Structure 1
Amino acid sequence: MWPEKDLDYVKLKDDDEGTHFGLFEGEQLIAVVSLFVNGEEAQFRKFATLISHQNRGYGSRLLSYMLGEAERAGVKRIYCNARSGKVSFYEKFGFTVTEHTFTKGGKDYIVMERFFGAS
Structure 2
Amino acid sequence: MEIKEIQASETWQIRHEVMWPDHPFEFVKLEEDNSGFHFGIFENDKLVSIVSCFIEGQEMQFRKLATLAEYQGKGIASHLLKYILKFAKEKNINKVWCNARSNKKSFYEKFGMKDTFKTFSKAEQEFTIMEIVLF
Please indicate the TM-score interval, normalised by the length of the shorter structure.
over 0.9
Q: Which runs of 4+ in 1 moved over 6 A?
A: none
Aligned counterpart, 2:60: 42
- Report how many aligned residue pairs link the two structures: 117
Aligned counterpart, 1:84: 102
TM-score normalized with structure 2 length: 0.84
Q: Which amino acid aligns with 1:15?
A: D
- The separation in 2 between residues aligned to 1:28 and 1:106, in whole angstroms, is 31
Q: Which amino acid aligns with 2:49?
A: A
Q: Which runs of 5+ in 2 are unaligned?
A: 1-18
TM-score normalized with structure 1 length: 0.94
CA RMSD between the two structures: 0.9
Aligned counterpart, 1:2: 20
Shift of 1:46: 0.9
- The separation in 2 between residues aligned to 1:97 and 1:71, in whole angstroms, is 20
Sequence identity percentage: 45
SS at structure 2 position matched to 1:14: helix
Q: Which runs of 5+ in 1 are unaligned?
A: none
Aligned counterpart, 2:72: 54
Higher helix share: 2
Q: Which amino acid aligns with 1:88?
A: S
